[in-house]
Every structure is written in structure tokens, then in C-alpha cells.
Chain A
Amino acid sequence: MAYIDYYKILGLSKSASQSDIKKAYRKMARKYHPDVNPNDSTAEQKFKEVNEAHEVLGNVENRKKYDEYGADWKHADDIKKARQQQQEQQRQYSSQGGFTGADFGGGDFSDFFESMFGGRTSGGSRSSTTFKGQDYNAEVQLDLKEVYTTQKQTLTVNGKNIRITIPAGVENGQVIKIKGHGGAGINGGPKGDLYITFAIKNSTRFRRVKSDLYSDVSIDVVTAVLGGDITVSTFDGKVKLSVKPGTQTDSKIKLKGKGFPKYKKEGQFGDLYITYKVKVPTQLSEKEKELFEALKNIKDHEH
């Protein structure tokens, strides 16, 4: 547990007036409020800090106590004194109905704050109860191979097991909303939602763009020149391909329907694009070298 400089958080000096504090708090709240910074945990953290600073400095009594004991909070006697005062204050506050902190999750206050001021005090501008439960965010890491098929998975979110179905073809970075699996509602309000972000790692040799797959296939010079049959890997098996005579390096072919499953379109697949890479041999046998020499002679005579 560390001492928190609430003045620094609000960018103020110790001599700031109550109206300066209010102004600074308002300005920072507008900047970091979670409603204007969706899915930004840094802003949310900052907002909590700003809120806490305002809870302390925005209240004349709290500020006085903080100024007096704050920096020396390790002194047991002082803390004891502070606690006694706080208990008094708690009693006064209890009749007003408290700040719930439910909008943006519990544990809004730092250990430092809790030790000095006890639990949550009321005051500030957010003083009423909320209706809907808190939304939860979770990240699920999967391999590309796993999202080739639809699968069921059990997630543990805040100690609760939730069975979800992950449709085949889900995208990296995609967010899905699971209604009603967030925090409990307040005053009988609806539950919050669970937002799951998928982080998909690709350990395969295929590159993926939505439902299309891309892969490079090496072919030797002879096959490229004369054509021939080769076997290539697709995502779920091998297929035989006929290479056309005179195939150039970097030429592409499309294997229709051999790509990745289309998201939420059962039985539909994207395409697989194969790029041929012609490999020029570097270690030739004597015989091969002779044949290439012979080829060269023919070419020379043609010109």
C-alpha cells in the first residue's frame, strides 16, 4: 500500500481552492469518463484515481484529514485518530444512501483510501444507484486451428462457469457480446453483459484474410517448365494439383471452397489461394549439369 498524492492526480498544488479542485476534477472526468472511453482500461483506471482524489479533496473534511495525516499514514496513532473521526463521519453518511461504484465495477478505491477513510463515502456527483449490472470484458486466446470448427468452451468469468459456443470462422480481435452474463443488476435491473474478445494465434503455414487462406507452395524448375502433378496441403488435408506447363514463380491459383469457414454461415467456406514459388536448384549432379549445358547450347544456337 502506497501513499497517494491526490493533488498530483488532479494536477494541483496544495494551496488549490475548492473551486480549483472542482474545476480540475470536472475537466479530468470529462476526459477519462468510461462512457466516453469505451474499452480503454487505462482511462478507466485514471478515472478511478481522479474520482478518488475528488472524494478526498472535494470534501472539505476529508481534505483536512488528508492534509494533516495523509503523508504520515504509517503512523499508527494518527491512523487511529483518523479512523475514529471516520467512524463518526460514516455514521453521518449512512443515512444519505451511499455511492455504489457499481457503474464501473467494485473495488473503485485504493487500499490507501480504504485505510484512511474506511469504505466508500458518499458525496461527489455520482450518488444514485444504477439500473443495469456491470459489463464484463474477457479475452479468449485460441489457435487458428481451433476456430476452423465450431466449438463449445467453458469460461470462468468472475468465479462463474459460462458455457459458450464459439462459431467457426471467428476473427482475430472480434468481440462477441453474451447478454446477461455480466454483473448483477441493481434494484431488480437487468444484468450486465459479457464481452469476449478473441485473440487468435496463427501457428499454421496459412495466412488468413477473413475466410480466405493464402499459402506458398514450392515447385521445382522441371515441373514449372513441363507441368506435372503435385500434392499440396490445404487446411484440412491434401489435394492433388496439376501444374500447367510454363508456370511462372509468384503465379497464383485459387482453390474454391478450400479456405476458412465463413463466420456464422454454416457449410460455407472461403477460398485457398496458392502462390507457386519456383525453386531454382543450387546443387546439381554432373548429369543434370550436362543437361543444363545442353539446354544452354540449344538456346545459344537459336539466337
Chain B
Amino acid sequence: MSTKQLIAITPICTSYNVEVSFVATLKELGLIALTRQKEEFYIHIDEVPTVEKMIRMHRDLNINPEGIDVIFNLLERVDTMQSEMTALKNRLRLYEDDL
């Protein structure tokens, strides 16, 4: 993994005004993957939007890491169901379109 694509956790936490321990808990729960180099933890650039979303949920809505875990699982299910619904709608058109 190129270090160019890794972003240090500390500045993210400073920018969002959250404790580094919060991000550490997210890692412990398996919600995000962090890489350790020397004394600093880094996150892959592709995971930044996810961790930002988690931070916003924590900061804006007072949701703890366990709650975030539950929400993310549910959102994933909503997402799957939405794709299924789109596929089903497209399939339903087969019977609705009268030639």
C-alpha cells in the first residue's frame, strides 16, 4: 500500500474535534481498518468518507460506536434491499408493458 494513499488520523480528529480514542474504538469494533506506522495511525484515503460519516453521526447525533455499528449494518441492508427493489421493478416491467 502506497503511503501516499494513507492519511494520518490525528489531523482528521483535530479537524473534527473528536478524540483519537473514538476512532480507535471504531477500529476495535472492526468498522474501519487502520495502519500503524511508528507512533501514528493511518487510514486509507478510500476509507476517509466512511470514517467522516461515523464521526458526523457521533458528533451531530450523539451516537456511540456500538450504535454506529448497528446503523451501518442496517444501512447496508437498506442498500441491498434498494438494489433488489430496483431489480424487481425492472423485472415487473416485463409484465406491465403491453405490446
Interface residues, chain A, CB within 8 Å of chain B? 26, 29-30, 33, 35-36, 38, 103, 125-132, 171-174, 187, 189-190, 202, 205, 207-210, 214-216
Q: Which of B1-50 contact A (CB under 8 A)?
A: 12, 15-17, 45, 48-49
B60 near A132: Cβ-Cβ < 8 Å = no
A173 near B86: Cβ-Cβ < 8 Å = yes
Task: Name the distance in Å between A278's Cβ and chain B's nearest Cβ.
Answer: 15
Interface of chain B: mostly helix, strand, loop or mixed: helix
Q: Count B-side interface residues using an 8 Å CB cutoff.
A: 29
Choice from B52, B57, B78, B86 contacting A171 with Cβ under 8 Å: B86
A70 to B53, CA, bound (A): 35
Task: Name the distance in Å between A40's Cβ and chain B's nearest Cβ.
Answer: 10
- CB-CB under 8 A from A30, the residues of chain B are 61, 63
A136 to B61, CA, bound (A): 23
A131 near B48: Cβ-Cβ < 8 Å = yes
B94 near A36: Cβ-Cβ < 8 Å = no
Number of A-B contacts (CB under 8 A): 73
B61 near A209: Cβ-Cβ < 8 Å = no
Given known contacts A187-B15, A190-B45, A126 and B60 CB-to-CB distance under 8 angstroms? yes
A129 to B57, CA, bound (A): 15
Extra contacts besides A171-B87, A210-B87 (17): CB < 8 Å: A26-B62, A29-B60, A36-B61, A36-B71, A36-B75, A38-B75, A103-B56, A126-B56, A126-B59, A171-B86, A172-B89, A173-B86, A173-B90, A189-B48, A202-B93, A209-B91, A215-B99
A171 to B48, CA, bound (A): 29
Task: Name the distance in Å between A136's Cβ and chain B's nearest Cβ.
Answer: 14
- CB-CB under 8 A from A36, the residues of chain B are 57, 61, 71, 75
Q: Which of B44-89 contact A (CB under 8 A)?
A: 45, 48-49, 52-53, 56-57, 59-63, 71, 75, 78-79, 86-87, 89
Given known contacts A29-B60, A126-B59, A190-B45, A131 and B86 CB-to-CB distance under 8 angstroms? no
